[in-house]
Amino acid sequence: MAEARIHALHGFIGSGKTTFARRLERELPGMRFTSDEWMVALYGQDPPADLFPIYHSRVIALMETQWIRALDLGVPVILDHGFWTRASRDALRAKAARLGVPLTFHVLTLPDEEARRRVRARNEVDGTMYIADETYALFRERFEAMGADEVGVMVGKRS
């Protein structure tokens, strides 16, 4: 069995994080925590924009209690969340250090045109988080790519 370790996925919407997380989950094996799946299960495919931040915070907090428990049991965890901001990545680095577990960021990138195409196709699938074009554009402004001083493992050549 693989060691207790945090595998955090960094990438924007449509970059292939969940597909990679599912593969990694089987290969390790490990336990995958995909925030969009939890959001859809608890609040539906298209939660109201004004409540989304509250719902999302609840999901992240609940997931954290579970993935920390998995680490305590020696199970590797895959955090399929995106870690869009430097602050969120730094907070996870600090948490991993406090927990005494290794952390690997897996970096997924994809040109916006292809990512938007994937998101539009995914929007047609029942049980997935709906992301409107306007929402994609709004969120894109909030995304901070990893800095040159941050360590991450690039995941395949994406096109």
Per-residue model confidence as pLDDT tens digits over 116-153: 999 999 999 999 999 999 999 999 999 999 999 999 98
Q: What is the DSSP letter of 143?
A: -
Long-range contacts, stretch 69-72, CB < 8 angstroms, 24+ apart: 70/4, 70/31, 71/4, 71/6, 71/99, 71/101, 72/4
What distance in Å separates the CA atoms of residue 60 and residue 100, rounded to the nearest whole number?
21
Strands of the sheet with 6-10, listed across from one edge: 31-34, 77-82, 6-10, 103-107, 153-154
The reported pLDDT for the residue numbered 89 is: 97
Q: Is the pTM of this model over 0.85?
A: yes
| Ordered structural domains, the chain, with CATH | 6-154 (3.40.50.300)
Each residue's pLDDT tens digit, 11-68: 999 999 999 999 999 999 999 999 999 999 999 999 999 999 999 999 999 999 999 9
Position 157 confidence tier, pLDDT thresholds 50, 70, 90: low
